[in-house]
Each structure stands twice: as structure tokens, then as C-alpha cells.
């Protein structure tokens, strides 16, 4: 059975799951969720995921929410992208937890506030605070990538896919590749992986749909 991923193109967290399945060669199809018109808050969607969030992975009798858990499930099931031994797998998890706490949670909020709220409702103090948090996260990545191609080991893993997820989006939220050359080169290496696609190509949903 083809797995279903409930998702929408603007979601960096959904992109983590979608790109993981794509690079692992997993058989999947997207199911569009109309987030901006409130679908995740409906009883029908809450019956799929009580947390009211995307992504949600559904395959046979398996339903998984939270992007990191979906990534780990796909890596475990395929034997791909999860690290080559126990030490690498622990380090992959370390970066997944770091991303969830320090990177994506800040990036998602910041990008939403700067691009998807009406301009007169954008909280400038919160935006400045989040941009400071993001600069600290970029600095961590930049330093770690000084002498390595990948976050863990010698090949791409779900750690890279998690941490890169928001950095391909075109909407401005304070990230510029010119400021972070090691991150820029790393993003190019990920994008060179066979099957890689931009989030707006991999999943349905684009800001232009609401223009």
C-alpha cells in the first residue's frame, strides 16, 4: 500500500517527512491539507491527528505524527538515511532533537510572522527576538560544517534533512546563504541528491495559490 502524507507545501516540518521518503525511495503520495483555511482545526482532521498538525503519515494500520518520528520510522524501515551504526544513530537523534528545539521551531514561527500574517499585524519585537535565536542556530550549523560535508557521518542522513527543511523556502525571514558559506555549500550538497525536489515541487500548496 502506498503511504499517504498529509501535508502542504508551505510546511517545513512536512517537507522533512516528504523529502526523507523521497530520498529513501519510499512509496508515498501527498494528501493536501488546507491549513490556511483551518482544516487542521476541524474534527475530521483531529480524528487523524489529535494534535491538529501536519505532517501525518498513514500506511495500512500505522499512523504517525511529528516529523522526526516519521523520519525515524522511514529510516528504520528502509535502512537508509539513519546512520551506519549505533553511535551515528544516536548522533542523528541528537541533531533531530536540536533541530526541533533550536532550529525549526524558531524558523517556522519567524517565517509565518514575517510572511503569512497581514503586514500590520506582524509583531516586530517578536520577530527581532526570533531572528536573534535563528542567528545562534545558524552559527551552530556553520561551525559544525566547517570541516565536514554532513552533520553526521560521511553521507546524508535524516539529521541533514531535518535541519535544512526551512532553508530552501524563498520567503524572507532573515536567512541569507551569502552570510553562511558552509551552510550554503551543505544545502547545495543536499539538493544534489538523486530525487531531491524543492518543497513547492514536492508537496501541493504554494503562497501563489492564495495571491
Mean pLDDT of 134-146: 98
pLDDT at 211 over 90: no
Mean pLDDT of 177-192: 98
Split at pLDDT 50, 70, 90, the class of 148 is very high
Let me know the angle formed at the C-alpha of 168 by 15 and 13, rounded to the nearest 5 degrees.
Answer: 25
**H or E segment and range at residue 61:** none
Portions of the chain given CATH number 3.40.30.10: 3-80+196-210
DSSP-based three-state secondary structure for 62: strand
**DSSP β-bridge partners for residue 125:** none
172: helix, coil or strand? coil
**How confident is the prediction for the chain on average, in pLDDT?**
97
pLDDT of 79 strictly over 80: yes
Q: What is the pLDDT of residue 195?
A: 97
Other beta carbons less than 10 A from residue 170's beta carbon: 9
Instruction: Look at residue 113 in the predicted model and tell me its pLDDT.
Output: 97
* The C-alpha cell that represents 151 in the structure block: 552533520
| pLDDT tens digits, 98-123 | 999 999 999 999 999 999 999 999 99
What is the mean predicted confidence (pLDDT) over 4-24? 98
Q: Tell me what the mean pLDDT of segment 152-179 comes to.
A: 97
pLDDT value of position 210: 80
d(Cα 187, Cα 210) in Å, to the nearest integer? Answer: 28
- The domain 86-191: what is its CATH number? 1.20.1050.10
In this prediction, residue 3 carries a pLDDT of 98
The pLDDT of residue 51 is: 97
Name the DSSP letter for residue 101: I
Average pLDDT over residues 44-64: 97
Q: According to the model, what pLDDT value does residue 153 have? A: 97
DSSP one-letter code for 103? I
Where does the pLDDT of residue 6 fall: very low under 50, low under 70, confident under 90, or very high at 90 and above? very high
Residues of the chain with CATH 1.20.1050.10: 86-191
Would the pLDDT of 1 be above 90?
no
Fold of the domain spanning 3-80+196-210 = Glutaredoxin (3.40.30)
Q: How far apart are CA 93 and CA 81, in angstroms?
A: 12
CB 175 within 8 A of CB 134: yes
Give mean pLDDT, residues 142-165.
Answer: 98
**Count of helix runs (H) and strand runs (E) in the chain:** 9, 4
Long-range contacts of 72-78 (CB under 8 A, 24+ apart): 72/96, 72/158, 74/17, 74/20, 74/21, 74/24, 74/26, 74/158, 75/20, 75/24, 75/157, 75/158, 77/26, 78/24, 78/25, 78/26
Amino acid at each position: 500500500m502506498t503511504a499517504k502524507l498529509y501535508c502542504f507545501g508551505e510546511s517545513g516540518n512536512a517537507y522533512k517527512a516528504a523529502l526523507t521518503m523521497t530520498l529513501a525511495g519510499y512509496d508515498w503520495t501527498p494528501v493536501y491539507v488546507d491549513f490556511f483555511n483551518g482544516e487542521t482545526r476541524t474534527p475530521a482532521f483531529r480524528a487523524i491527528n489529535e494534535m491538529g498538525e501536519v505532517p501525518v503519515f498513514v500506511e495500512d494500520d500505522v499512523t504517525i505524527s511529528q516529523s522526526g518520528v516519521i523520519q525515524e520510522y522511514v529510516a528504520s524501515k528502509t535502512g537508509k538515511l539513519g546512520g551506519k551504526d549505533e553511535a551515528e544513530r544516536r548522533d542523528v537523534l541528537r541533531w533531530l532533537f536540536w533541530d526541533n528545539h533550536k532550529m525549526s521551531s524558531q524558523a517556522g514561527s519567524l517565517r509565518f510572522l514575517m510572511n503569512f500574517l497581514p503586514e500590520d499585524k506582524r509583531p516586530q519585537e517578536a520577530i527581532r527576538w526570533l531572528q536573534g535565536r535563528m542567528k545562534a542556530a545558524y552559527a551552530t550549523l556553520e561551525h559544525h560544517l566547517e570541516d565536514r560535508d554532513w552533520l553526521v557521518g560521511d553521507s546524508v542522513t535524516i539529521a541533514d534533512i531535518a535541519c535544512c527543511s526551512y532553508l530552501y523556502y524563498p520567503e524572507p525571514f532573515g536567512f541569507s546563504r551569502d552570510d553562511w558559506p558552509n551552510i550554503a555549500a551543505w544545502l547545495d550538497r543536499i539538493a544534489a541528491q538523486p530525487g531531491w525536489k524543492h518543497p513547492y515541487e514536492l508537496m501541493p500548496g504554494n503562497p501563489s495559490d492564495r495571491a
